[in-house]
Amino acid sequence: MRERHYTFLDKLCLGIDQAIRVLQNTAKNNGKVYPASQIPEAEMSEKERQHVAGLMRVNHTGEICAQALYHGQGVISRSREVQQKMQLAAIEEGDHLVWCKQRLDELDSHTSYLNPLWYTGSFCIGMVAGMVGDAWSLGFVAETERQVIKHLSHHLASLPHHDLRSGEVLKQMQMDEAHHRDEAIQLGAKDLPAWIKMTMGVMSKVMVKTAYWV
């Protein structure tokens, strides 16, 4: 069977469709089982519940950014292999998006109101990363995953110790992100210059601080 050739316009339309799906929490995913499905809900004070909801909102926004980064790179990346890899990675990340949203619903809280903004910004960054070449683009993925893993460790330490449901979700996400990082390295990711890593770190701090509250 002949492989279909997608024009830039086709990809852009696909990109818009993906963005709408992500922002409506209907992104493509693998339908993996919710990691906390067998764990009973903990008794939490109102203050604890709000704190956990803030952390889960940050993680949900982080996953929105991951979707946008992968989609942006998938649109522009030069090699077909990397393009496909990015689209598959976005689908895998789709499960994380579903889990974070589910946890937020369980905590009777909301996703960040600024998600459309974060999606747009991250999509543009993804496109730029995709333009500079596949090895850099993969380097960008590896670094993003490294930073996400670090955040997840902080969040795991900051959760009320009896909130095992949130803990289970974050632990599974952390394992998956490590897998994504290793895959990007195996595909030939380049180590990014220190100033780019630092800029990424600053941006993610701004996201973390705002998404916790709004």
Least Å from the CB of residue 180 to Fe ion:
4
Q: What is the 3-class SS of 37-94, one letter each residue?
A: CCCCCCCCCHHHHHHHHHHHHHHHHHHHHHHHHHHHHHHHCCCHHHHHHHHHHHHHHH
Site stretch for Fe ion (CB under 5 A), options 42-50, 93-101, 118-126, 183-191: 93-101
C-alpha of 25 from chain center: 13
Nearer to Fe ion by Cβ, of 57 and 96: the residue is: 96
Write out the two tokens for 151: 């955040």
Provide the mask over 173-192, with x wherever binding to Fe ion is found by CB under 5 A and - wherever it is not: ----x--x------------
Least Å from the CB of residue 205 to Fe ion:
18
Provide the mask over 121-140, with x wherever binding to Fe ion is found by CB under 5 A and - wherever it is not: --------------------
Single residue of 28, 49, 96, 155 touching Fe ion by CB under 5 A: 96
Least Å from the CB of residue 115 to Fe ion:
15
Using only C-alpha atoms, what is the Rg of the chain? 17
Any contact of residue 51 with Fe ion (CB under 5 A)? no
In three-state secondary structure terms, 3 is coil
Distance CA 57, CA 213 (A): 8
- 């394992």: which residue's tokens? 175
Binding residues for Fe ion, rule CB under 5 A, total 4
In three-state secondary structure terms, 124 is helix
DSSP 38: T
Distance CA 187, CA 172 (A): 23
Angle formed at CA 64 by CA 203 and CA 200, multiple of 5 degrees: 20
Site stretch for Fe ion (CB under 5 A), options 10-18, 94-102, 104-112, 194-202: 94-102
Four-residue CA torsion sign, 66, 91, 93, 53: positive
Least Å from the CB of residue 74 to Fe ion:
14
Nearer to Fe ion by Cβ, of 49 and 139: the residue is: 139
Distance CA 125, CA 154 (A): 25
Single residue of 93, 134, 168, 183 touching Fe ion by CB under 5 A: 93
Provide the mask over 146-165, with x wherever binding to Fe ion is found by CB under 5 A and - wherever it is not: --------------------
Least Å from the CB of residue 168 to Fe ion:
15
Least Å from the CB of residue 96 to Fe ion:
4
Q: Which residues bind Fe ion (CB under 5 A)?
A: 93, 96, 177, 180
